Chains A and B, each alone.
Chain A
Amino acid sequence: MDVTDESTGGAVGTEGALRTAPAPTPRSAPGPAPGSGDGTAGVRHGRLRRRPRAGRVSWRQTLRRDGVLYLMALLPLAFLVVFRYLPVAGNVIAFRRFRPGGSIFGETWVGLRYVEMFINDPTFWHVFANTAILGCLTLAICFPLPIVLALLLNEVRKTAFKRVVQSVSYLPHFLSIVIVAGMTMQLLSLQGTVNQVVEAMGGEGIPFLQRPEWFRAIYVGTEVWQTVGWGTILYLAALTTVDSSLYEAARIDGANRWRQTWHVTLPGIRPTMVTLLILNIGTFLNVGFEKVLLLYTPLTYSTADVISTYLYRVGLVSNNLSYAAAIGLFQACIGLVMVLSANFVSRRVVGASLW
């Protein structure tokens, strides 16, 4: 309430100052833009241009001038605190005994009990390995393919054709993961097209989704299907910014198209590549949890079960919330460390980084 009153009062005050320029209110005097002669310009600068020398403006003046802005930020901030930061803090239940229906921060400290528990849990290490393998496969295959597709698209000269290919290839991005899983099941079922092809070539039908040895291929395949087209957008945008005089120069130096691609195009889109690589590395342990949950069966746990699905079953199916939270926290920390280190390495090695 205090803030409201002060800010609206302030707003009126400054507006008054705007109209009756010659008499600046005492409050606005030390504030904005020393040296600008009349009060109007001063206020304007203070409000819209960059903040005058930091430290000069007191918080009271800031509040008076920008109170409305802080007020506008309140609701989103409250949202972030409740729905983003409370869960982060809620991770303390990884170190506390949790009673369903009790405080979201648990009851009593148990120290590293749950951490020790998962470190000594062979299943945890098994799903950890599965996650790492799926993550690496996805990264190795789904990261470079959009670059290749973008380069191919970039060579197309018929705009209409290019546009059609782009539209079609973006489409899977907009589908719910449920639909993707449904399509996958239909295609790979014993009556599905894939098995018909297998049988036509003299093979025997394979229940793909019940075979652990096929799960990784299915996972990565659907990932490619859904993400590669959409992934080209940023590369295509980056490709248009490559300076055409560089191609000219390369041609004069006798570079053929392949060499032009290698020496001009690829370096031209390198910042985009690095940025996306960092982002991909950061999220690499969060392998498409929802998709695994939809596609796996107890028969394929040996290759399909990942950290998130395991902690989902431990936590929400078997109700070991603290234990599951400990695993989740571990996963989140690894993710954070990976983004930070990928960013650090790329800043050192190629001089491009996210921040």
Chain B
Amino acid sequence: MVTSDAMTPAGPRAGVPIGPRDSKGYRLFTGLNAGVLVLVCLVVLYPFITLLAQSFSSAGAIKAGLVNAVPVDFNIETYRAVTQDERFWTSYGNTVLYTVVGTVVAMILTTTFAYVISKQHLRGRNVLIGIAVFTMFFNGGIIPNYVLISSLGLKNTMWAVVLPGALSVFNLLVMKSFFENLPRELEEAAQLDGLGWFGIYVRIVLPLSKAVIATMVLFYSVAYWNDWFSAFLYLDKNELFPMSLYLRNLIAGASTTTAESAAAIGTTGAAISANIKAVTMVLAILPILVVYPFVQRHFVSGVMLGSVKG
């Protein structure tokens, strides 16, 4: 009822200065709206807050159900214990390695192919685009992919994690439309100066595309950073596990890995206490949280670039 009342009065749209025509009802709506949005923020943030609180609390306090938004028995012992575990750092290092290598490979594949299919005069261009786009709508599925990776001998190598995700068609199309919109005169001038296609690509097009390249790098690195499933499928050796898989095993509390690492951190029994899980999760999210405020707008602009193409 309240909302419909609040919606009734006529007033200027958002962005238009607030005029005297703003009625009481509209102001009520604005207030309610702000309230709803604050609530949304709280709901989004609460899991982070409670995670942080748990990470600074003692296992006993969490077990007693005392920890919500504020740490109980504040301590940083858990952080010390987790960061002293060798496995934690191995998996962290693996994640960094897979992310860097994967992003580099993916960027090479994506930018070169995007450049080629951005050339509107190119014969067979539509075929090339079609080959890429088809894979968006029909993929092989888990089993054939698994069989393929196994028979290529990639199991238990970094490449099983890096290669399958190395070309996202969405990112490809975003780059393609960006390249298509670059001013043509520059390329023509370069051509008159005797540069071939590859020279133009390396010396003219790539330097002009720093913004979109940054966005794509972000997209790919987040995808690799967060990926756990290909590691879960294709890697059996603890020393190859990325952070996400280490974390998954910790959370699931199932495999031998976790029991061992629990022993390593000095916890007894197979059950990993909640504070250790919390600390590991906080440390896994941390890089994303630190970088996020600075790069967020690149992500947004990347999504918009993609949507322009439709």
Contacts and interface: CB of A to CB of B under 8 A. Distances in A.
Interface of A: 8, 11, 15, 18, 40, 44, 46-51, 57, 59, 62, 66, 68-70, 72-73, 75-77, 79-80, 82-91, 93, 98, 101, 103-104, 149, 152-157, 161, 164-165, 167-172, 174-179, 181-183, 185-187, 189-193, 195-196, 199, 225, 229, 233-234, 237, 244, 247, 251, 254-258, 260-261, 272, 275, 282, 290, 293-294, 308, 311-312, 315-316, 321, 324-325, 328-329, 331-332, 335-336, 339, 354
B2 interface: no
Contacts of A260: 10, 13
Contact of A75 (B109, B188, B191): B109
B232 to A, nearest CB: 9
A257 B14 contact: no
A293 B285 CA distance: 21
Interface size class of B (residues with CB under 8 A): 35 or more
Interface stretch (B75-83, B113-121, B208-216, B256-264): B113-121
B51 A257 contact: no
Given A69-B197, A93-B143, A183-B281, 8 more contacts: A83-B167, A86-B140, A183-B51, A185-B251, A251-B10, A315-B142, A315-B146, A316-B146
User: What's the dominant secondary structure at chain B's contact region?
Assistant: helix
A89 B145 CA distance: 10
Contact of A179 (B46, B144, B247): B247
Interface in B29-47: 29-30, 33-34, 36-38, 40-41, 43-47
Contacts of B116: 69-70, 72-73, 76
Contact of A76 (B37, B167, B247): B167
Interface string B65-101: 1011000000000000000000000000000000000
A210 B7 CA distance: 43
Nearest to B67: A191
The 4 closest A-B pairs by CB, nearest first: A87-B140, A90-B144, A176-B226, A328-B141
Given A179-B247, A190-B65, A191-B64, A233 B144 contact: no
Given A73-B113, A73-B116, A156 B37 contact: yes
B166 A83 contact: yes
B21 to A, nearest CB: 10
Contacts of A315: 142-143, 146
Interface in B164-222: 164, 166-167, 184, 187-188, 191-192, 194, 196-198, 201, 222
B1 interface: no
B11 interface: yes
A187 B300 CA distance: 29
B135 to A, nearest CB: 4
B50 interface: yes
A152 B143 CA distance: 43
Given A68-B197, A152-B37, A316-B233, A171 B44 contact: yes
A77 B40 CA distance: 44
18 contacts: A11-B197, A66-B197, A68-B198, A70-B116, A72-B197, A75-B112, A91-B140, A104-B144, A104-B147, A157-B18, A168-B41, A170-B300, A179-B226, A187-B47, A189-B274, A191-B65, A256-B8, A257-B10
Interface of B: 4, 7-11, 13-15, 18, 26, 29-30, 33-34, 36-38, 40-41, 43-48, 50-51, 54, 62-65, 67-68, 108-110, 112-113, 115-117, 119-123, 128, 131-132, 135, 137-148, 151-152, 163-164, 166-167, 184, 187-188, 191-192, 194, 196-198, 201, 222, 225-229, 233, 244-245, 247-248, 251-252, 274, 277-278, 281, 284-285, 288, 292-293, 296, 299-300, 303-304, 307, 310
Contact of B9 (A48, A185, A257): A257
Contacts of A155: 14, 29-30, 33
Contact of A256 (B7, B50, B139): B7
A51 B121 contact: yes
A158 to B, nearest CB: 8
A79 B198 contact: no
Contacts of A290: 228-229
Nearest to A242: B13
Contacts of A50: 120-121
Contacts, number: 304
A77 B128 contact: yes
A51 B140 CA distance: 35
A69 B41 contact: no
Given A93-B147, A336-B137, A336-B138, A176 B228 contact: yes
A172 B285 CA distance: 11
B296 A72 contact: no
Nearest to A87: B140
A311 B142 contact: yes
B140 A174 contact: no
B141 A175 contact: no
B36 A66 contact: no
Contacts of A91: 140-141, 144
A191 B196 CA distance: 66
Nearest to A73: B116
Nearest to A237: B304
Contacts of A258: 4, 7-8
A175 B226 contact: yes
A314 to B, nearest CB: 9
Nearest to B229: A290
Nearest to B132: A80
Contacts of A199: 65
A92 to B, nearest CB: 9
A47 B152 CA distance: 40
B123 A152 contact: no
Contact of A168 (B45, B51, B304): B45
Contact of B7 (A187, A257, A328, A335): A257
Contacts of A80: 131-132, 135, 167
Nearest to A170: B296
B248 A294 contact: yes
